[in-house]
Amino acid sequence: MFKSEKSILLVEDDTSTRLIIQKGISNWGFKILSVSSGEEAIKVINMITPALALIDISLPGIDGITLAEMLIEKNINAIVLMTAERNHSNNPALKKHKVICKPFNSNELKEIIKQTTFVFD
């Protein structure tokens, strides 16, 4: 399995949101592995180990929290969950991971990637 220190797995089911995030991250020099479901994400991580997984918690099929736990089992520990839920501190499942609230700006995203991966130039 190939490990890339400059790759990010982006799991977001909303196409427009996924494309906006993907464009921003690729402009920062990261390789983007972009998928729309947890099932697709599992296929990707069987081929490559990303430096970071950026996951929407509200996915069809395998939800983001379940996917995050599956990634941890595969030793992918740099995980950021995306949520529109502003009061996420009440959700114990979200306390295990870094969380960014939608909508977020590029500076917020850049900072959480930097804090989580330590490979940001």
**What residue spans of the chain are helical by DSSP H?**
15-27, 38-45, 64-73, 106-117
Q: Provide the 8-state DSSP code for 95.
A: G
Tell me what pLDDT residue 1 has: 44
Tell me what pLDDT residue 34 has: 96
**Domains along the chain?**
2-117 (3.40.50.2300)
Separation CA 23–CA 73 (nearest Å): 29
Tell me what pLDDT residue 28 has: 87
pLDDT in tens, the chain (121 residues): 445 568 999 999 999 999 999 998 988 888 999 999 999 999 999 999 999 999 999 999 999 999 999 999 999 989 999 998 776 566 676 777 889 999 999 999 999 988 887 655 5
> Residue type for 2, please?
F
